[in-house]
Structure 1
């Protein structure tokens, strides 16, 4: 059987997921029309930030990840986004499947910081495939590994990312803080009789600017 091939046809939010999930539509081919019984497929997804340009506002926010813009030739490197697995059911010749990729909104994770810093355009992604292919061979089966060089590139529109995140965190985001920091913020908020956490953070920012 000719080696398995992969293409990514697009990406969309999962409209019915219980948590933020992107669905990557994959086209899988066995070019000699061989019958594939199943594939235990693994996919590593990386962000390739060096493959796009950035505006001034984006560059300012990305300094937290990559440092000063003058050093980006040295510091801008691929970021890990996800490692996922899926079972591909039996097919002959070619098939299409959805690859679900659970997503978070943790701004302490490098990929989360990167997505949150972009205004528009696309996130350049690289999908690296591996796994095990189970195929028919006469009256039995063959078992072989997905070749190490199987990969596909796909752009993730920032509008798609925001559409997904806004379904679960409309108009807001999350920061993870230590218990001691939270208690200190709670005392600050209480001492000034500030009704919301947003107002407490705005007051702190004003004091820092002064």
Structure 2
């Protein structure tokens, strides 16, 4: 079955878009550590864009870089021993964000903000903490809805396919500098109330000055190297 003529004309007028990630910077005044990525959107077909509700999924393509000995040891928890990485290095989903893009004719730029949380139990956080140099290979997958005017002036919509994507190398040092600035060089550790109470009791009994000192004392006397 063929599309009706008005529908076919409207589909022909639907904008065809390309996406490119152009840069990244640390957000200066955010309450939480946040990265800001610049995205350039270009129209390569169809008519002008009235607006876009843009959904972006960001993932780390962990197989697209090499790792030194220290990183390989740290990543064993995520991917197993390095000898098995040929079958275990799968992309890590980082985040998904939605952005409203205003009208444009040929091209425009927008910004995506990504919070860098403290939760050390998350796979992405474990990965980023382990990778301290070089670049983190990111993939950006774009989808959403584009709004446009048909030749008759009617407002129409079209879906953006997930096949629209872009790659970007995030400097690993930028993530570490940003999170260290917010955490004063420390790391957040989530404990249950019972575990914290036991740790604090150990601290008090051994006249230790802080939870960090209590954990260090326990490690020093655990027999571990």
TM-score by length of 2: 0.89
Gaps of at least 5 residues in structure 2 are 1-12
Root mean square deviation, CA, Å:
1.4
Q: Does 1:65 align with 2:78?
A: yes
Q: What is the deviation of 1:33?
A: 7.5
TM-score by length of 1: 0.95
The partner residue of 1:164 within 178, 184, 199 is: 178
Query: Which runs of at least 4 in structure 1 moved beyond 2 Å after TM superposition?
Result: none
Gaps of at least 5 residues in structure 1 are none
The partner residue of 2:108 within 83, 95, 117 is: 95
The partner residue of 2:148 within 117, 120, 135 is: 135
1:117 maps to 130
1:30 maps to 43
- Distance, in Å, in 2 between the alignment partners of 1:20 and 1:93 is 33
Q: What is the deviation of 1:158?
A: 1.0
- Distance, in Å, in 2 between the alignment partners of 1:3 and 1:32 is 5
The partner residue of 1:176 within 179, 190, 195 is: 190
TM-aligned CA distance change 1:146 to 1:33, over 3 Å? closer
Partner SS for 2:95 = strand
Q: Mapping of 1:42-53 within 5 angstroms?
A: 42-53=55-66
- Distance, in Å, in 1 between the alignment partners of 2:89 and 2:195 is 31
Are the aligned partners of 2:133 and 2:173 in contact in 1 as well (CA < 8 Å)? yes
Are the aligned partners of 1:43 and 1:129 in contact in 2 as well (CA < 8 Å)? yes
1:16 maps to 29
Are the aligned partners of 1:33 and 1:94 in contact in 2 as well (CA < 8 Å)? no
Are the aligned partners of 1:123 and 1:157 in contact in 2 as well (CA < 8 Å)? yes
- Distance, in Å, in 1 between the alignment partners of 2:83 and 2:22 is 36
Q: What is the deviation of 1:92?
A: 0.8
2:209 maps to 195
